[in-house]
Amino acid sequence: MIMETAYITVSPGRADEFEEVLRGALDIVREAEGFIDVHVHRGIERPDVVMLAIAWESLEAHTVGFRESSRFTAWRTAISPFFAAPPEVEHWILR
């Protein structure tokens, strides 16, 4: 199992709206093969930054199965209008 973290900097003043759209968009991710769980965190010091922590069965479940699917296109279409900058994405091995 791996954990994907994504730091999304949202355009100033749009974080509340982003969180509303994100709730629905996460259903797209939840239906992806290899998806395990997701947690959403909003910054205290940086309230326009949202961190997603998504657990996947494997790196390939995320990078190939999801990112090369039409689900990813739908996901990005829903959330990308809120981006102030490209998301910072990393993957972590869970021990």
Q: Which domains does the chain have, with CATH numbers?
A: 2-93 (3.30.70.100)
pLDDT tens by residue, the chain, 95 residues: 999 999 999 999 999 999 999 999 999 999 999 999 999 999 999 999 999 999 999 999 999 999 999 999 999 999 999 999 999 999 999 88
- Backbone phi, then psi, for 51, in 5-degree steps? -110, 125
pTM check: above 0.85: yes
SS (H, E, C) the chain: CEEEEEEEEECCCCHHHHHHHHHHHHHHHHCCCCEEEEEEEECCCCCCEEEEEEEECCHHHHHHHHCCCHHHHHHHHHHHHHECCCCEEEEEECC
